[in-house]
Chains A and B, each alone.
Chain A
Amino acid sequence: MPQLPGSSLAVKRISASPDPAPSIRTAGPEFAKLIDISRCIGCKGCEVACKEWNELKIEPTRNFGSFQSHQDLSADTWLLMRFTEIEVDGDLQWLIKKDACMHCEEPGCLYACPAPGAIVQYENGIVDFNPDKCIGCQLCISGCPFDVPRFSAETHKVYKCNMCVDRVEVGLEPACVKTCPTNAITWGTKDDMVALAEQKVDRLKDRGFENATLYDPAGVGGTHMMYVVPHGDRLVDYDLPEDPTAAPGALAALAGLKQLGMGVMGLGLLGTALHYLKYGPEVADEEASDPASPEPGSGPDAENT
């Protein structure tokens, strides 16, 4: 493994923070993980390495008719190799997806989070959860276009892959990269990984995978976990969204509504204050206590209840 350039943990984005991002450092390189699905042999060594390095609980599983180890990600399983069997032109195809956090450049989870500092994005591209500040609302799960974060019923907080930030910080590759026996997973600067992916895509095309493509979706500003997908025309079968976006319409509308909300409440307070200053309290006159005294509009034409 060649020496990696320094990785900056300077904070680029913070959840629920109205203030500017704190980093004044010169931006260091962004890093990215590249998954070449065509090289994956399905050994699931990466799953084990992930559990080991991050000291995550072993979850008992059972055979449910798939090569897959578990049915879904969980608060204790941050990485899951998903295996889908489909028929393409009469041939069986084994589609593999390394399901884990994509570390989006525009992180939907971070934008959806109401707890200041519970989700941060570093300049190196890693999106990290800080369980300390997580309030357990789970809105990040709904903000994620890839359905990755998982809620723990035990701690009432949400967890996901942190790209082994503690390894990356000191110039090491993430545990899954280190363990992969076929180099299906590679690690480096984002620029290098995009260049490498393009070579890999070209090679796949030469081998007859005409639709081979790099999955680095623009709707989330690109990701720091990218795929080389042999069947690029079948993203849905890989369970990869065709056009993921960080801010679905409802959340974008919500942002506008919040501005309106503060405006309306502010104007409401101001309006009532000004009304009071102009008209003051309307005090009842207790002297005119005779019921026969003329009361405007209270004549016989007044309606009965």
Chain B
Amino acid sequence: MSRLERFTYFERVVHWTLGLSFLYLLMTGLAFSHPRLFWITVLSGGGQTARFLHPWIGMLFSVSLGSMFFIWAKDMRLESNDREWLMAVRAYATRQKDGVPPAGKYNAGQKLFFWAMTVLGVVHLASGIPLWMPAGVLGIGPFYGGTVNTMRLLHYATTLGGGGLLIVHVYLGTVAYPGTLGAMLHGRVSRGWARLHHPRWEKEQAGD
């Protein structure tokens, strides 16, 4: 059974830096937002430590998000074929593969996930800085009062979007489609997996 390389070592490192930092940020962020989840801060060394680490892990998240953007932006350009795929998303979700146009290396859902996460990430970073340093930074600020309160709203709204998408991403990437997690762990997928999920990409790899 031949195997195809789907993600390089560098891509995998960047992905997991992003993924694990996202998880840390989501957990501590939820702890700050919901009193019943405040206990999560204990896992991060207590409330004050979590408050200190959250923005720094956020920097790590931002750097990996930026790297991911440069690695994958080219592959994530939407094509005319993607529109048809999106029209057939219901068929895709209910496993009626006949009605779904064959995907290339990434299907339209993955592409939209990438762009949505990029936009949400940028807004999240921008709204997080005034919360991190409300007294001001680089001569801008202070942000106390209305700015902080509005940014807090924005910071939470983007969490909501990103957190919701993450649930779907993790579900599809693990239990829903066996073989997918391996692509991000050791980088390789089987021929059958590629033919099932990314037939056009599989054809392109045929000569390898």
Contact = CB atoms under 8 A, between A and B. Distances in A.
Interface of A: 16-18, 112, 114-116, 133-139, 141-143, 147, 151, 156-157, 248, 250-251, 253-254, 257-258, 260-262, 264-265, 268-269, 272, 275-276, 279, 281-289, 291, 295-298, 302-303, 305
Contact of B144 (A141, A157, A257, A269): A141
Interface stretch (B6-14, B16-24, B158-166): B158-166
A25 B112 CA distance: 57
Contacts of B197: 284
Nearest to B49: A135
B35 A142 contact: no
Contacts of A282: 95, 176-178, 196
Interface of B: 1, 32-36, 38, 41, 47-48, 50-52, 79-81, 93-95, 97-98, 100-102, 104-105, 131, 134-135, 143-150, 152-153, 156-157, 159-160, 163-164, 167-168, 171, 175-179, 190-193, 195-197, 199-201, 203-204, 206
Nearest to A134: B48
B128 to A, nearest CB: 12
Contact of A261 (B104, B135, B148, B159): B159
Contacts of A264: 160, 163-164
A135 B35 CA distance: 13
Contact of B33 (A157, A258, A283, A305): A258
Nearest to A149: B144
Contact of B95 (A141, A251, A279): A279
Given A142-B144, A283-B178, A305-B79, 7 more contacts: A135-B51, A139-B131, A141-B148, A264-B160, A284-B179, A286-B191, A295-B195
A276 B196 contact: no
A265 B94 contact: no
Contacts of A18: 35-36
A291 B208 CA distance: 13
A173 B84 CA distance: 75
B169 to A, nearest CB: 10
Contact of A265 (B50, B148, B164, B178): B164
Contacts of B100: 296-297
A286 B35 contact: no
A262 B98 contact: no
Contacts of A287: 192
Nearest to B178: A281
Contacts of A157: 48
Given A136-B51, A137-B32, A295 B199 contact: yes
Contacts of A254: 149, 152-153, 156
A108 to B, nearest CB: 10
| Dominant secondary structure of chain B at its interface with chain A | helix
Contacts of B203: 291, 298
Contacts of A141: 134, 144, 148
Contact of B171 (A116, A253, A276): A276
B156 A261 contact: yes
A268 B48 contact: no
A188 to B, nearest CB: 33
B181 to A, nearest CB: 11
Given A114-B33, A257-B157, A284-B190, A135 B47 contact: yes
Closest 7 CB pairs of A and B: A284-B192, A135-B47, A142-B148, A286-B192, A250-B149, A272-B171, A268-B167
A116 B36 CA distance: 9
Instruction: Tell which of B159, B167, B179, B204 has the most Cβ of chain A within 10 Å.
Output: B167
Contact of A284 (B41, B101, B193): B193
A115 B35 CA distance: 7
Contacts of B204: 305
A269 B167 CA distance: 7
Contacts of A116: 35, 38
A276 B175 contact: yes
Nearest to A108: B149
16 contacts: A116-B35, A137-B51, A139-B131, A251-B152, A254-B152, A257-B160, A260-B160, A279-B95, A281-B175, A282-B95, A286-B1, A297-B98, A298-B102, A303-B104, A305-B200, A305-B201
